[in-house]
Amino acid sequence: MEKYDVIIIGSGLSGLECAYILSRKGYHVCVLEQNAHIGGCLQTFRRGKTTFDTGFHYVGGLEEGQSLHALFRYFDLLDLPWQKMDEDGFSEVIIQGKSYMFPSGHERFADKMAEYFPHQRQQIVNYTSFLKKVGENIMNSFQTGVKNDFTASTLLERSAYDFLQNSFDDPLLINVLSGASFTMELCAEKLPLYVFAQINNSFIQSAWRLKGGGSLIAEKLADNIRRMGGEVHTNAKVTRFNEHGGLMKSVCVNNGEEIAGKHFISSMHPALTLSLIPETSNIRNIYRKRINNMENTHGIFTAHLQLKPDTVPYLNRNINIFNGTSPWNDAGVRSSGTTAALVSFQMPKSGGAYTSNIDILTPMLWQEVAQWANGRGAAYSAFKAQKAEECVHLVSKRLPHLKDSIERIYTSTPLTYRDYTGTYEGSAYGIRKDYSHLVYTLLSPQTQIPNLLLTGQNLNLHGVLGVSMTSFFTCAKWVGMESLIKELENGGPVYPR
């Protein structure tokens, strides 16, 4: 039974990034993925000649000097075919039929918003300056002992919704500024200010699509992990953790093979991780109860539209549509029908003027599909077809020729995400963070078993930027943050080419 330095369960972004970091540090790493393909929510899938993204659609802050650039330079991901989205409007927000463009750059963003809301100009300038300050201090999260008004811990304890209410007099402006936030769950009662600010800031810095889809990120990370001596295995479902003497010793794979390790990292949902650890372990019942009772954010329904050739012009921006008045409180989830959607365009392979497919995303609760959790059928297919029709109807108000341009529709629900990406109950953004119960809803990478760590979007921050930061927090438990910061500051990869 071969013994690895580190066994990592799950090959989503967090698992692969942890494997990359520790392989770079000289650890012999083994990544175990239960599915046939690596990547988790980074996966793509093909239908005929058309490639669709699963959960990855765009990133922010990728220019030099911005929040994600340094992290992706470290992970050797900057040379992928990134395409900058339209600087004059990387997102279009449509509320009650009126369109608002979001340009890149803090000053340009403030100027544009002030054109729409001239009576709130100074408030907009103050808000944009606040976002910029948050972005400038993001890397301070890696520094111990650095404390100011813009650290994550301070802003995580403040309400995003209350901050907006106190910053602006115009409710419509609040809704517009929140309208490009399909990258998070807009829960007015719980969303921390830091989550709202760091995500919105990163996209205002700059917004980028990836030609070829998110699987390119996973493949590049896996290739480099293998180059550094690590292993990445698919169709390897971990079915049990084995503990002895207060430490994890091995995992069982596919209910048979036993693989031993010195250290273990689980990128699975913490509740799923604990379900694989026997009750007789050192995990206290109060810890299990806390994890199992945590609320999860809602999921996503996606209508993947395969389009007829040369029918829908490619737009180098997202479209965010709200038929109601507010994006807050899970717009499109608690109301009847589909009232909110994000439209994401696939980049043309040939650089032509038309897209081959678009995705329409709308929030969906697990409860809407839970009845089919253990088996599908005609009722489930009818439910998906009805939901897809609602999505197309909503978006057709902005793209009037869309219905006639559709070749075929594929769909995914929270059930799909659960089964193909391993996300707990198909949750889009992991465990729901609550600014008023921060200690309860934020998790440390360290478990009660010394050589078992957690990682991923369920711990503190979600999204590509948040997960990439969390991978550093996880690995720092074993290798120290100081050395990781030095490597991050020094730049790109150091492994042999």
Same domain for 220 and 204, yes or no, is no
Same domain for 199 and 153, yes or no, is yes
Strand partners, 95: 98, 322
Q: Does 66 have pLDDT greater than 70?
A: yes
Is the CB of residue 180 less than 8 Å from the CB of residue 321? no
Please state, rounded to an integer, the average pLDDT across all residues of the chain. Answer: 91
Q: Give the per-residue pLDDT at 492.
A: 65
Domain membership of residue 71 (yes or no) is no
Same domain for 200 and 315, yes or no, is yes
Count helices and strands in the chain by DSSP H and E runs: 17, 19
Same domain for 222 and 129, yes or no, is no
Tell me which residue of 227, 273, 201, 292 sits closest to 76, measured CA to CA: 227
Residue tagged 């989830």 (tokens): 333
Instruction: Give the count of beta carbons closer than 10 Å to the beta carbon of residue 375.
Output: 7
Distance CA 484, CA 348 (A): 38
Following DSSP, what letter does each residue of 431-469 receive, concatenated?
Answer: BPP-GGGHHHH---SB-SSTTEEE-STTTS--HHHHHHH
Distance CA 380, CA 12 (A): 27
Q: Does 121 have pLDDT greater than 90?
A: yes
Q: Give the per-residue pLDDT at 497.
A: 39
Is the CB of residue 114 less than 8 Å from the CB of residue 346? no
Is the CB of residue 209 less than 8 Å from the CB of residue 315? no
Domain membership of residue 271 (yes or no) is yes
Helix (H, G, I), strand (E, B) or coil at 341: strand
Same domain for 313 and 372, yes or no, is yes
Same domain for 287 and 301, yes or no, is no
Q: Give the per-residue pLDDT at 488.
A: 86
Is the CB of residue 58 less than 8 Å from the CB of residue 320? no
Domain membership of residue 324 (yes or no) is yes
Flag whether the pTM goes above 0.85.
yes
Domain membership of residue 256 (yes or no) is yes
Pairing of strands 257-266, 247-253: antiparallel
Amino acid at 165: Q
* pLDDT digits 0-9 by tens, 147-197: 545 455 688 899 999 999 999 999 999 999 999 988 899 999 999 999 999
Same domain for 311 and 179, yes or no, is yes
**49: exposed, middle or buried (Cβ count in 10 Å: 0-12, 13-18, 19+):** exposed
Supply the range of the domain harboring residue 461: 3-60+214-294+436-490
Same domain for 339 and 248, yes or no, is no
Q: Does 360 have pLDDT greater than 80?
A: yes
Domain membership of residue 77 (yes or no) is no
* pLDDT digits 0-9 by tens, 394-417: 999 999 999 999 999 999 999 998
Same domain for 173 and 315, yes or no, is yes
Query: Rounded to the nearest 5°, which phi and psi values hold at 152?
Result: -60, -40
Domain membership of residue 495 (yes or no) is no
Domain membership of residue 65 (yes or no) is no
More confident residue, 231 or 352: 231
Is the CB of residue 390 less than 8 Å from the CB of residue 337? yes
Q: Does 34 have pLDDT greater than 90?
A: yes
Domain membership of residue 69 (yes or no) is no
Distance CA 251, CA 478 (A): 20
Distance CA 66, CA 349 (A): 27
- Section 426-449 average pLDDT: 91
Same domain for 169 and 315, yes or no, is yes
Distance CA 14, CA 471 (A): 6
